[in-house]
Structure 1
């Protein structure tokens, strides 16, 4: 079972005892304790302004909602988990920036008004949390993808594009990857769950730069932007729940 599936399974597990009390939720979400106990277990949790979650205040399109997580001022980041409290599939992305900055940008679906949060695990075992409430119309996770309605999804399945820009001042490369994929949630009648589950990023030598577990609440035709420590060609590969792999290469 991959890391993201373990997280989702944990959300349905019985309540866990914590070694320390949870901090009070500044957003007042009715689901905060439920998710925190299952995502973080007994690890210490703090709300931290250094976890910057950039997103619109209102979702103009609940199927395609842009979110950027920037935790580059936190030292020793090991994981970034992006989740929406009131989504039926809460966890959208679980990203391990192996040789990358603590930064990830993507687009997610929203099923109703909900807190959208990022939880960042640092090397000392502490989870740092940031986020905010988002106003959204209902149905982002339970409406059929546009490509399903048009009927052309299979003609373009797996088409991958990427671009990379190397920044000499920082030594980092900004990498943006896009894939054609319906990202079915399984919540639409007669359409089974079918989504990209894993994304790996490597440099020219094969060294791991980052690995991401992806959930069905990421938007149709997903896009991901990361900052990696590489200046040469970057290879990436996405694997979906049917076992298909879609690979590509980007040259800064």
Structure 2
């Protein structure tokens, strides 16, 4: 019994008390949070992923941190990806929830860390099994050379509850190769910022994608009430190309 307790204590020291037992978690904390930041694992953040990533270049993820109340910022991290930060999300007037797809290099925990006004980072998590390789192969439009014809074009659709006009979802897709820079001869080329605005140009949400986001990224934003239209999506990629489109019409 004493040996078992000692082993558990040693394991907690190596993993920082991570519920998934990942020895990468302490390093993630050092890399992406301030040294004096308070982090706590929180089951109120719902993270939904497939049990197995059938397509490692397009792994669907959804999260919802609404149970925390007000959330100022959300960061998504993947322990075992060569590029660990997937995105940053400032919900603003949107719900602190998001649906998207990303590239996964190997089986790994995924973390959704939500910052509340009291300065605490609440961390939700899940584990995804995968055969891997999603970060180190070219996407389809890069492989066939078609990406310049569609670069930064935007498609969108609004879904809502017709009876109450509540619980509105906006889905947007931006055509972009989202190159990680980990494929020989192909430098990193990815969307750096997306800003969603309402009809009065008020910012509804800000999103900062990183290289692991899937090619032709698709994002779904949720709202308690339909935003005032017409909405617009502004943004840029790391080569200075601009994104400017009306959405949700």
Distance, in Å, in 2 between the alignment partners of 1:78 and 1:29 is: 27
User: Which of residues 56, 63, 66 is equivalent to 1:72?
Assistant: 66
Distance, in Å, in 1 between the alignment partners of 2:240 and 2:179 is: 15
Structure 1: gaps spanning 5 or more residues: 1-21
Distance, in Å, in 2 between the alignment partners of 1:126 and 1:145 is: 37
Larger radius of gyration: 2
Distance, in Å, in 2 between the alignment partners of 1:238 and 1:137 is: 33
User: Which of residues 176, 189, 198 is equivalent to 2:171?
Assistant: 176
Match of 1:122 in 2: 116
TM-score normalised to structure 2 length: 0.88
Structure 2: gaps spanning 5 or more residues: 1-14
Q: How many residues align?
A: 231
Cα separation, partners in 2 of 1:78 and 1:152, compared to 1, 3 Å:
same
Deviations 1:152-205 (A, max 9, x none): 111111121011124464744311110111100000000000000101001000
Contact 1:173-1:231 at 8 Å conserved across structures:
no
Distance, in Å, in 1 between the alignment partners of 2:150 and 2:209 is: 20
Distance, in Å, in 1 between the alignment partners of 2:33 and 2:130 is: 27
Distance, in Å, in 2 between the alignment partners of 1:116 and 1:92 is: 10
Trace 1:80-99 onto structure 2 (pairs within 5 A). Answer: 80-99=74-93
Contact 1:162-1:248 at 8 Å conserved across structures:
no
Contact 1:171-1:231 at 8 Å conserved across structures:
no
Q: Does 1:25 align with 2:18?
A: yes
Match of 2:184 in 1: 189
Match of 1:225 in 2: 220
Q: Does 1:165 align with 2:159?
A: yes
Structure 1 stretch displaced more, 236-245 or 194-203: 236-245
Distance, in Å, in 2 between the alignment partners of 1:251 and 1:28 is: 42
Distance, in Å, in 2 between the alignment partners of 1:217 and 1:136 is: 15
Indicate the SS of the match to 2:72.
Answer: strand
Shift of 1:214: 0.7
Match of 1:212 in 2: 207
Match of 1:236 in 2: 233
Distance, in Å, in 1 between the alignment partners of 2:168 and 2:233 is: 14
Structure 1 stretch displaced more, 219-228 or 37-46: 37-46
Shift of 1:93: 1.0
Shift of 1:242: 0.8
Shift of 1:115: 0.5
CA RMSD of aligned residues (A): 1.6
TM-score normalised to structure 1 length: 0.87
Indicate the SS of the match to 2:127.
Answer: strand
Indicate the SS of the match to 2:169.
Answer: strand
Shift of 1:87: 0.5
